[in-house]
Amino acid sequence: MMMQSEDMALLTDLYELTMAQSYFHEDHNEPATFSLFIRKYPPNRGFFVSCGLEDVLRYLEDFRFTIKAIDWLHRTKIFSDDFLDYLKELRFIGEVRAIPEGRLFFVNEPVLEVTAPIIEAQIVETFIINQINLQTLIATKATRCVHAARSRSVVDFSLRRTQGIDAGMKVARASYVAGFSATSNVLAGVTYGIPLSGTMAHSFVSSYEHEIDAFRAFASNFPERSILLIETYDAVAGAHKAVEVAREMAAKGQHLQGVRIDSGDLLTLGREVRRILDEAGFHDVQIVGSGGLDEFDLEELLQENAPYDAYGVGTRMGVSGDAPWTDMAYKLVRYGERPIMKLSSGKVSLPDAKQVFRFTEAGRLHHDVIALCDERMKGAEPLLKTVMAGGRIKDPLPSLREIREQFCEEFSRVDEKYKAIRDPEVYPVHLSPGLQALKESLEQELEAIEVEVEPTGQRPRDLGES
C-alpha cells in the first residue's frame, strides 16, 4: 500500500511509536521540552545556517494519523487497539521556539525547542531532525561556496546528483537562502520562486555533425540567454567557434551571453578563453565554470584571479560532499517540572528549556550565550522566537526572499576568521551562570543517584575507555 503525503505522521522511527504506547499505558504524558542542536562541527566548519523550519511547522500544523495509517499500524500487530484509537485523535498542540531560518547558530546552541505532551513531542522527533539536519547542512555548505566565490554568481546544478526528489527540492531552496543566484531545478523554480538558469549539455553539442552548428542552433532559439558549452571536444577550438557565433549574433543586433567550461584545467583554460574573447572584442561575454566544484575549488580559483564571472556548482554542494552529515540531536531537557540532562560519554546535553543571546560590538557578531529560557541579558538579542503556540503557526512566515536577505545581512557582520574555508576559528559561545550552575548541580545529583559506583569509589568505565 502506497502512503501519500497526508500520511506523514508515519515518517517516524518505530521506537518513537513504541515509546508513545508505553507513555500512553503508563499515563506518562506530561509536558516535555526537547532541544534540537548540533554537538560538534564537521571538518572546516565554524558556523551553521538555520534552515528547514517552515517544513517542520507545516508538518506539525497538519500532523495526524489517517485511517489508512492506523489500519496499517494495526496490521503490524505491534500496537494495542486502545493506543491506536488514541492515535486517531492525536494532534500536535504544543509550542515551538526556534532560531528563524537564515540566522547563524553554533555548536550546542538549540536551533529549535519543542514543548508539548511527551507523546506528541516524541513522535515528531524523526521528521524534525530529518528536515532541519539536511537543510541546515546544505545551507551551510552553500554559504561557504558563495563566500569563496566572493562577488561571482553561483548557480545550483545539483538536482541530478542529490539523494532523491525531496533532497533535490530542499537543496535548491537552502542554497538560494545561502546566496546562490539561481537553480537549474525547474520544479524548485515553480515551487519556491527561485530564478532559473541553465545552458546546454554535451549531448546537445555532439548530436550535431559540427560543433558550430550546435552553437548556431542554440543561439537561434535562445538569442537572449545563449551560454555555449565549449569543451565537448576542445575548449580553445570551441572558444574560437563561439567568437564566430558571437559575431553572427552581433550582426543581427543580438548578444552572446557567455560560454561554459565544464572540465579540464579550469584556471589555464579560463585564461586562454578570456584572451580569445577579449582579442575578438567580446569583453562582455561571460565565462562560466563548472564540473565538480565546491568552495575549496572556488577559493583556489579566486586566489589565482581566474577570469570566471559565474560558477555552476552541483554534486559536492548538493550532497555536502566533504561533510555529508552533522551530529544533530533532539534531546529531552525537561519533563513536567523537572529539568533533564544526559550524561552519556561524549553526548552530554544541556538541561532545561533555553534561550540563546547574541552580543554584537560595533555591529559585528561578538559572542553568544546559551542561557535558561527565563533569563534576561541586557544588550543582547534573544534568538529563539516563539513560532508555534497551541499547535498553530503563530505569525505569517517570512518569504524565501526575506529569509535570504536576513541571512545575507547577518553573514556580512561575521568576522572573516570565523568564515574561513579552511580551519576557521571557533566563534565564542558561553553558558550563562544560571545554566552552568544547573548543569553542575544536576551532574552531581545524577551521579549520586543513577550512576553505580564500584567498590574502588570509581565510576564504571565506559566501553571503549582504555
Residue 454 has pLDDT above 70, yes or no: no
> What pLDDT was estimated at residue 465?
38
Interval 344-360: pLDDT, tens? 777 778 999 999 999 99
Cα–Cα distances (Å) from 378 to 26, 151, 215, 327, in that order, read 44, 36, 62, 32
- Work out the pLDDT band at 448, boundaries 50, 70, 90: confident
Question: What is residue 455's predicted lDDT score, i.e. its pLDDT?
Answer: 53
Element (H, E) at 440: helix 433-449
User: How confident is the model over 200-222, as a mean pLDDT?
Assistant: 98
pLDDT bracket for residue 463 (50, 70, 90):
very low
How would you label 188-214 residue by residue, b for 16+ Cβ within 10 Å and e otherwise?
Answer: bbeebebeebebbeeeebeeeeebbeb
Structure confidence at residue 466 (pLDDT): 34
Task: Mention every residue, 6+ apart, whose C-beta is less than 8 A from residue 378.
Answer: none
pLDDT: which is higher, 449 or 296: 296
pTM (whole model) above 0.85: yes
DSSP class of residue 43 equals T
**Predicted pLDDT of residue 240:** 98
Residue 37 CB neighbours (<10 A): 25
Contacts of residue 276, Cβ cutoff 8 Å, sequence gap at least 6 = 236, 239, 240, 243
As a whole number, the mean pLDDT across the chain is 95
Q: From its phi and psi, is residue 264 left (phi > 0), alpha (psi between -120 and 50) or beta?
A: left
**Residue 344 in contact with residue 321, Cβ under 8 Å?**
no
Looking at this protein, which amino acid is placed at residue 47? F
Q: How far apart are the first and last CA of the chain?
A: 50
Q: What's residue 336's pLDDT?
A: 97
Instruction: Look at residue 217 and tell me whether its pLDDT is greater than 70.
Output: yes
Q: Is 50 exceeded by the pLDDT of residue 144?
A: yes
Complete edge-to-edge strand list for the sheet that includes strand 31-38: 338-339, 328-335, 31-38, 112-117, 95-98, 385-389, 392-393
pLDDT digits (tens, 9 = 90+) for 15-62: 999 999 999 999 999 999 999 999 999 999 999 999 999 999 999 999
Taking the CA atoms of 439, 442, 443 and 444 in sequence, report the sign of the dihedral they define: positive
147/314 Cα distance (integer angstroms): 16
C-alpha cell at 321: 560532499
Whether residue 102 is predicted with pLDDT greater than 80 in this model: the reply is: yes
The CA-atom distances, in angstroms, between 294 and each of 133, 262, 327 are 20, 13, 22
Rounded average pLDDT over 7-19: 96
Long-range contact pairs involving 388-397 (C-beta distance under 8 Å, separation at least 24): 388/57, 388/60, 388/61, 388/94, 388/95, 388/96, 389/95, 390/93, 390/94, 390/95, 391/60, 391/61, 391/63, 391/91, 391/92, 391/93, 391/94, 392/61, 393/57, 393/58, 393/61, 397/54, 397/57
The residue whose grid cell reads 545563449 is: 226
Residue 4 has pLDDT above 80, yes or no: no
Average the pLDDT over 78-100 and give the result: 98
How much of the chain exceeds pLDDT 90, in percent?
Answer: 92
What interhelical angle do 125-149 and 400-411 show, nearest 10?
Answer: 60
Q: How large is the average pLDDT for residues 389-417?
A: 98
Q: What is the enclosing helix (H) or strand (E) of 66? A: none
Give the dihedral sign, CA 159/41/55/24.
positive
Complete DSSP assignment for 14-27: HHHHHHHHHHHHTT
Phi, psi torsion values for 413, nearest 5 degrees? -100, 15
Pick from 36-45, 110-119, 210-219, 443-452: least confident: 443-452
In this structure, of 162-166, 283-287, 396-400, 457-461, the range with the lowest mean pLDDT score is: 457-461
pLDDT tens digits for 218-241?
999 999 999 999 999 999 999 999
Q: Which amino acid is at 137?
A: L
How far is 196 from 227, CA to CA, in rounded Å? 14
What percent of the chain has pLDDT above 70? 96
| Amino acid (1-letter code) at residue 424 | P
Dihedral of CA atoms 314, 317, 321, 327 in degrees, nearest 10, equals -150
In this structure, the strands spanning 182-183 and 227-229 are unpaired
Check pLDDT > 80 for residue 170: yes
What gap in Å lies between CA 397 and CA 120, rounded to an integer? 23
Residue 461 has pLDDT above 80, yes or no: no
Measure Cα distances from 426 to 154, 171, 366, 417, 456 in Å.
Answer: 27, 26, 12, 9, 39
Write the Ramachandran bin of 126: left for phi over 0, alpha for psi from -120 to 50, otherwise beta. alpha
Please state the rounded mean pLDDT for residues 366-393: 98
**What residues contact 306, with CB distance under 8 A and at least 6 apart?**
266, 267, 270, 271, 289
- pLDDT of 329 above 80: yes
Sign of CA dihedral 261, 256, 142, 421: positive
Tell me: pLDDT of 256 over 60. Answer: yes
Q: How far, in Å, CA of 305 to CA of 221, rounded?
A: 33
For residue 460, pLDDT over 50 is answered with no
Return the pLDDT at 450: 78
Phi first, then psi: give them for residue 37, nearest 5 degrees: -155, 170
Supply the pLDDT for residue 452. 63
Strand pairing partners for 104?
49
Residue written as cell 546544505?
138
